[in-house]
Each structure stands twice: as C-alpha cells, then as structure tokens.
Amino acid sequence: MENLARVLVVDNNKNITTKIKEQFSTHEVIKVVNTIENGEDALDYILNKNNEFDIIVMDLILPEVDGITILQKMKENSIKKKIIVITSYKKEYTINMTNKYGVSYYMLKPFSLLALETRILELTNNELIKPLELTEKDKEVHVAISKLLHQLGIPSNIRGYTYIRESVFIFYKNSDAYRGITKEIYPEIAIRHATTATRVERAIRHAIEVSWNRGDYDLMEEIFGNSVAYDRAKPTNSEFIATIADRLRFDRKLIHT
C-alpha cells in the first residue's frame, strides 16, 4: 500500500524524533520523510521543499527559530499544511496563537505514540485509511478495564466512564512516561473528545462518585483498601486511575505467569 501521510517531524529532542521515526518505520499509511532538530533548518526545509510532506509534527520550543515564527512564515508564504503541535508549553495564550495559524491538534508532552498515530490518520482524511485498530493485547486490556469499571458500578452511558477507561489505558501503557495524570493525561483525553481538561476531570469525578454509591463493596475494599480509606473518603481521580491500572498489571501478570 502506498504511503498516504508524509510526515515532517521538527523537535530538538532527538529521543522523541527517533521514537516517532521508529514507530512509523513499517507503517502502511504513515511515512516520516524527515526529522529536523533546528528551527532555522526546519523553516528552510518547509519553505523550499513543501511538496515533500503533507503533515508537520512540531514542537514550539526550538533553537534558532521558534515554532510560532515558523507558523507565521508559513502563513506569509501561503504554505498550507496540516500541523500537529507537540510541546510541554501549556500557556493558554500560546495555544490560542497556534489556533490562529490553523494548527489541527495541540498535544502536550509526554504523549502516547498511539494518540499521535490516531491524530495523523485522522488528518489524512482519506477513505482508503482503515480505522485505527488495537493490537490483540491492547484489546484484551480494554476489555479488562471495561469489565472492572462495570464491576465498580460505573455505567457506560456517562462520559466519565469513557474518560476513565482511556485514562487507565494510557496510564497502563505509559506509566513511566507520565509525570502527572492531571497535567498530562487529561489534556490528551480532552483533545480526543473536543472538550477541555477541566470537563474531563469533572466527568471522571462524577463517575467515581457514582461508583462509590453503587459499586461492589467487597471489590472496592479489595482494590482501594490499601491506597485510600474506603470508609472515610472517595479516592481522588489520580488515585482511582493509578490504582485501577496497577490492579490490571497485577491481574495480567498472574494470568501470564
């Protein structure tokens, strides 16, 4: 199958550019055509070789020339490309600035490569692209999460259920990469569902409250007894997500032992 999404990656973190390139090295749809670590070199490449790529995955904090300047120069030269910003810079003013220049997605670091793949495939907007499919192991994890959440009394028809399921999955897969659930995972979930991190947090809090009122008491005591005082207070969102992810790791380790 011919590559449909040609991606230029611009980031001065070589570890990130290497991981992205390796992730898509054998992908049927996505092809990383170049990785550039310097803003000035990236701008030169974009201005002079803009027929060689379709999507730009770019950090805003770059040596020599920053990402906002690159976006400005692209607009001045009428270069229209689909852009995914990947950055640790969270200022609302900066996010609004990127929207001004037509950025499609704003992803906070650290991010999952699975989420990046999803965003790139969405931006290709090509009927030949099949929906993103999870690996068999990922599907097993999703089923295990759903089963556990149902046992804990969280109905699948509320938004918090979906947000918790995705948060637990992300944390389960990337616990070493995430320094904080609130600052890192919520924004990613918000981007996926076209909402805000605050709404994600509130929906998860509501789902936990529902769970605490209707869930399996014995199971809750078993799962949360050592991490929170069940009879005194509900777990925080972060405690709930992290504890569920840890429980899944423990259960799956027993299965595969």
pLDDT digits (tens, 9 = 90+) for 162-188: 999 988 988 887 765 455 677 677 877
- Give pLDDT, residue 223: 81
Highest mean pLDDT among 48-62, 80-94, 104-118, 209-223: 48-62
Q: What is the CA radius of gyration of the chain?
A: 20
- Give pLDDT, residue 203: 95
* Residue 47 DSSP one-character state: H
Mean local confidence (pLDDT), 213-233: 69
Q: Homologous superfamily of 5-124 in CATH?
A: Response regulator (3.40.50.2300)
pLDDT at 128 over 50: no
- ∠166-171-173 over CA atoms, to 5°? 95
Mean local confidence (pLDDT), 88-106: 79
Q: pLDDT tens across 11-34, in order?
A: 999 999 999 999 898 876 789 999
Ranking 67-76, 146-155, 170-179 by mean pLDDT, the lowest is: 170-179
- The residue with greater pLDDT, 224 or 131, is 224
- Give pLDDT, residue 253: 63
Predicted confidence band of residue 131 (pLDDT cuts 50, 70, 90): very low
- The residue with greater pLDDT, 88 or 89, is 88
Residue 222 is encoded by which pair of tokens? Answer: 């078993």
Mean local confidence (pLDDT), 106-120: 86
Predicted confidence band of residue 2 (pLDDT cuts 50, 70, 90): very low
Question: In this structure, what are the phi and psi dihedrals at residue 144, rounded to the nearest 5 degrees?
Answer: -65, -40
List Cβ neighbours of 170 (8 Å cut-off, separation of 6 or more).
112, 115, 178, 185, 188, 189
CATH number of 136-255: 3.30.1330.100, 3.30.70.2970, 3.30.1600.10, 1.10.10.10? Answer: 1.10.10.10
- ∠54-58-63 over CA atoms, to 5°? 130
pLDDT at 3 over 90: no
pLDDT mean across residues, the chain:
82
Judged by DSSP in three states, 87 sits in strand
- Give pLDDT, residue 154: 92
Domain spans of the chain, in order of start? 5-124, 136-255
Residue 97 is encoded by which pair of tokens? Answer: 């600035």
Q: One fold for both 5-124 and 136-255? A: no
Predicted confidence band of residue 145 (pLDDT cuts 50, 70, 90): very high
- Give pLDDT, residue 134: 66
Mean local confidence (pLDDT), 119-146: 71
Mean local confidence (pLDDT), 73-100: 85
